[in-house]
Amino acid sequence: MKTMLFSEIPPADRTLSAILGYGAFVAVLLLLALIVFLIVRKIKRKQKREDADKTVSTDSVTAADKTAPGSAGQIKLHDVEPKTAALLMAIVADKAGVPLNCLRFKSIRELKK
């Protein structure tokens, strides 16, 4: 098989070859861009769906179930008023030398003699 030099190829063939080469290159780039676009769109839809699920689950929480920031949740009071329980928790935190938000009280009960 005889190899041809660049100068031996007719100008029309060189132009056509260049256009086809560049066209194939651009077509592959467009295909890759389309694939990336579709993947990103799918991921965004999935995240949007998850965010919507989270919003629905947080909306279902009632006002009574919401706790103050830094609290550990609910406390069971047995024959003790909430004001008295708050004072007792503050005294315990002060005597222990620990910040109140670092302690967790599960229940408070009055000891009767």
The rounded Cα 45 to chain-centroid distance in angstroms is 13
2 — pLDDT class (breaks 50, 70, 90): confident
Neighbours of 88 (CB within 10 A): 14
Residue partners of 90: CB distance under 8 A and separation at least 6: 100
CB 69 within 8 A of CB 101: no
Mean pLDDT of the chain: 84
What pLDDT does 16 receive? 94
For the chain, which residues make up each domain, given as ranges? 10-59, 72-109
What pLDDT does 5 receive? 80
Rounded to two decimals, the pTM is 0.41
Give the DSSP letter string of 61-98. S-GGG---TT--S--EEES--HHHHHHHHHHHHHHHT-
What pLDDT does 113 receive? 78
What pLDDT does 67 receive? 62
pLDDT tens-digit readout, 25-80: 999 999 999 999 999 999 999 998 888 777 765 555 555 556 666 666 788 888 88
